[in-house]
Amino acid sequence: MKTSTPIYRLKQTARRKARDEGIPLHAALDRVAVGEGFGTWGHLSQHQSGSRSVAALYRALAPGDLVISAARPGQGKTLLALALAVEAMKAGNPACFFSLDYTRADVADRFSALRVDFAAFGERFVFDGSEMISAGHIIARLEETAPGTLAVIDYLQLLDQRRENPDLMSQIRDLRRFARARKVTFVCISQVDRRYDPVRQPFPALSDIRLPNPLDLQLFDKACFLNGGEIRLEATAGSHSL
């Protein structure tokens, strides 16, 4: 079953409905989903992900992977990253969400959209919204974490916004070394350059990642691209190099 309009437009409709009717966003998302013939927004999102469900996507990630997840605004990057965190926790692993953009309330709202209780996993889920977030900060927070932890970084382009932080390339190299040594999976949410045209190209590519500062994208093991509710996961050319 296809939706009547791209999923990002449905999200815009839900946001307007939530604002105009004074209802929670997750309730507005569910109402929009029902209007499209789905039981809940979670059902709609899973269907629009094509044959690769979130559970299958999680199983395709290996402990120690450094993953970049990229899309244009409104395509569900954050929702997908949190869904992967939920899959990690269902498997008995810790999950962490480091954000320079979202608040704890924002994350709780996204969990509601996934039909997941924000507090259900207790201490297994960690939210860090510190303004000091950088690779060094993240590594320090995860120093004692168990192998198999999945950590989301929201988002890549903000890691070196503070002058005192190392350059972005150095930070990603540090995260890569830590990921390999401790078997922690990192999912780095990323923006896509505005020149990317989804009409001419069904999915973004590594060359479409917005990079205000130099970064060798071959440092990432896998790349996950989203567009119109569809997901593509691919290995990068540098997935086996150090």
All structural domains of the chain: 7-48 (no CATH), 54-235 (3.40.50.300)
Q: Give the model's pLDDT for residue 4.
A: 65
Closest residue by Cα to residue 208 from 222, 221, 220, 190: 190
Q: Give the model's pLDDT for residue 44.
A: 72
Closest residue by Cα to residue 31 from 117, 118, 113: 113
Task: Tell me the average confidence (pLDDT) per consecutive run of 10 residues in the chain, 242 residues long.
Answer: 69 90 87 79 61 82 97 87 96 96 91 86 94 96 97 94 93 98 98 89 93 93 88 81 41
How far apart (Å, rounded) are the C-alpha atoms in residues 149 and 196? 32
Q: Give the model's pLDDT for residue 27.
A: 86
Question: Is the Cβ–Cβ distance between 4 and 75 less than 8 Å?
Answer: no
Q: Give the model's pLDDT for residue 242.
A: 39
H-only helix segments in the chain: 7-21, 25-35, 41-48, 54-59, 77-90, 104-113, 135-141, 168-182
Q: Give the model's pLDDT for residue 199.
A: 79
What length does the chain have? 242
